[in-house]
Amino acid sequence: MNQYDEIKNLLKRSRLMLEQSAPINLDADIESEVDIETSPEDKTKTYRVSGGLIKLHGKDKQDLELTTDEKVAFQETMDEFVEEVSDLSDFGVLNMYPNNVEWSGKVIDFDIEFFYSIGENQGVYINGDMIKLDDNLVELINKLTVYYEKFKSKWAKVLAQRKKTDYREDEPGQ
């Protein structure tokens, strides 16, 4: 087996694993808390916002609170992507860390997965299998790249606001 076949098999297995995970109800129009996972060093809390999932990562309870502005930013992100990049898209979980935001999904009509990151490994990444190179693909890649700049700007502001806000000021008796 050559390297190409090995990589192709690994991609196939990872896609199968993703497909076997629990289905997401994309018709939900209300936000709701989905789950809480805890580990000694990192805590997470996942919220459903208008059919999408946003997962907050942090060290304490304040890091895991989703604000109204963050909900609006996430809704706008999904709506703008559909309008500016592709209306045939499935979105993955948006992961918000203290110093990074990562978001992925799939552009269905091209069978391409995209990944946006504004942290340490910032940039746009795509993944696909046997993608036809033509003008439509070039146009999609340009749209993904242009939209990434809007995504990066919006979520960098969200991260900056989270760092600036001292949640303890709002607590009674402080």
Instruction: Flag whether 174 is in a domain.
Output: no
Give the span between the Cα atoms of 141 and 108, in whole angstroms: 14
Structural domain contains residue 18:
no
3 or 37, which is more confident? 3
What does the pLDDT average to over 167-171?
49
Is residue 45 situated within a structural domain? yes
Single-letter residue type at 115: F
* Domain presence at residue 100: yes
Cα angle for residues 16, 22, 24 (degrees, 5° grid): 110
- pLDDT value of residue 25: 45
CB 109 within 8 A of CB 88: yes
The pLDDT assigned to 30 comes to 44
**Is residue 110's pLDDT more than 60?**
yes
Number of domains in the chain: 1
Decide: 63 and 111 in contact? Cβ < 8 Å.
no
Q: What is the pLDDT of residue 50?
A: 86
Q: Please indicate, yes or no, if residue 20 is contained in any of the structural domains.
A: no
Check the CA dihedral 30-25-47-143 and report its sign.
negative
* CA angle 120–151–145, rounded 5-degree value: 85
Helix (H, G, I), strand (E, B) or coil at 102: strand
* Domain assignment present for 91: yes
Q: How far apart are CA 88 and CA 106, in angstroms?
A: 8
pLDDT of residue 100: 94
- Is residue 8 included in any domain, yes or no? no
Q: Is residue 11 part of a domain?
A: no
Token code pair at residue 82: 């559909």
Q: What is the mean pLDDT of residues 122-146?
A: 94
Q: Which residue has the higher pLDDT, 125 or 165?
A: 125
- The CA radius of gyration of the chain, in Å to the nearest whole number, is 18
**What are 13-66's pLDDT values in tens digits?**
766 666 655 444 444 444 455 555 545 578 899 999 988 999 999 988 888 999
Q: How far apart are CA 87 and CA 142, in angstroms?
A: 16
Calpha distance 66→44 (Å, rounded): 11
pLDDT at 10 over 90: no
* pLDDT of 9 above 60: yes
pLDDT of residue 164: 80
- Beta-carbon contacts of residue 14 (< 8 Å; ≥ 6 apart): none
Q: Give the pLDDT confidence of 53-107 residue by residue, as tens digits.
A: 999 999 888 889 999 999 999 999 999 999 999 999 999 999 999 999 999 999 9
Domain assignment of residue 74, given as a range: 25-167
DSSP label of 108: G
Neighbours of 45 (CB within 10 A): 20
When pLDDT is averaged across residues 157-163 and rounded to a whole number, the result is 91
Tokens of 172: 């009674």
Q: Residue 13: what pLDDT?
A: 72
pTM of the entire structure?
0.71
